[in-house]
A and B are shown apart, each in its own frame.
Chain A
């Protein structure tokens, strides 16, 4: 029966040529091979997000008068609703963590170099999309923390010269963070970002398949992609799923208090860990530096770091060859240490 189906598909779609290609695909084996699995984990976590996101959509009702109530209903009345929400939140956090680990491994392995520039660029855009997912999804429960995080996050956009005011209204759907903002963020979170992410992930995977994995030419050993690498990948996915479930059961995501536009920001308010370094920088910058508002310096610094990272494969080859490797390692390690120190400082202060 299976053979019949296979030959039927092969007649129409040349299935055998694809299977032949998959049979010959190999993965280089060297001391950093373990980092190849981080990309697969990102894909798995994205699939978990899609699955749990669709399930949450069955009960979630967007609106200033219904969002908080519907999330409370999901977590307190719907069977396993608390599990779905916590799995969604934990896997979102792990997804950003794994995307960062994946990108750092690519950086330190110099796997972004020619001919893989576009794999790196598409990966940078995917990190941006994942952070936008995190930011827009954070507002959807319409709780106190989400409300102020969105007020601050969108106000940063409003600080931009010339287009700031216009962009602020575009993002918020008005001058203030209201139900209109919630509707926009919901649309962004469940329609625009998933479509953009799916397209870009497809493109990213296509680049990897066409060009093969980095360091393939230097590696002395290779392993077959199927079944050796795929089975290892799937085992790791199972481990990650278990970790998420353990986190969701023992550290369920809190809902907090409902957003109130007439209540002061509560003491101890902080953003998610992946925005903590930017938050801490905005907190310590003085009101004005050389007549320019401190937050504009902050925005300028984030933008400069983002642009440098995005264009890394294009400026890095122009560096003088002598001492380049050492300089890149120092830059990477220094940037990572600075971000980690700011994050820790933001967490403790």
Chain B
């Protein structure tokens, strides 16, 4: 196989189908961290979101007409809900109980793996009568976008796309607008820079931060559900692949801003899909896939090493805000 035969369209589409879920998770992280709450819990949140969405699909089998795409769309709503609910734990621990935010994040991750693992197999055994540790999903449809796909070179990005890519683009745009244009966004960003000032302006800092953390859960849930559809078409504990942490790396690299973070996600996504697609060119054995999979992680480390230094975290990130202490 030569380099000419590489499926460049697949690199683009696969890259995007990885980059976009990563982006929406990272936006979730941006919300939390811009409000001043460190969020290492993204991994756990995306997993629990995907679990909630998949549980909805598994438990409504038969309620919808076969071949209907409706359960798929609804599963994203439930994933967002599940992620948001699980994020409440992080919010309560960090805001109400003043827990160390890093520790809380790790706790959420461990709890999420344990809880979804336990619930998936127990629910499968108890309610569906099968011994399985996964919820099956239907295969996501893939669309070819008329007209756009005709454009040379980038047109390839518009063939065989997942519907979730559009869901994510719409949701991401909305949350970009919310963060930078609205009252709520102004307050979120203020909470992460100088909570005392926000408090003095008569805004309840805890409430703003709570909202931001819950949003981060919802967005991570949507990202998790997307991965469940694109990578495995099922929910199993294998969803915990470290992508939540990759999203954190992306948002740090993107300097806690949405648009540069999108660029970072694209770099990861395209590196990953390119590594996959280029493997056959070098006539490599199947084992090499493991090596190829290291690409996004290596790239992340290198990028952070060379460009991460100048990045500035929100000033009050990780700072407990205790109203009684001024």
Partners in one complex: no
Chain B positions near chain A (C-beta within 8 angstroms) = none
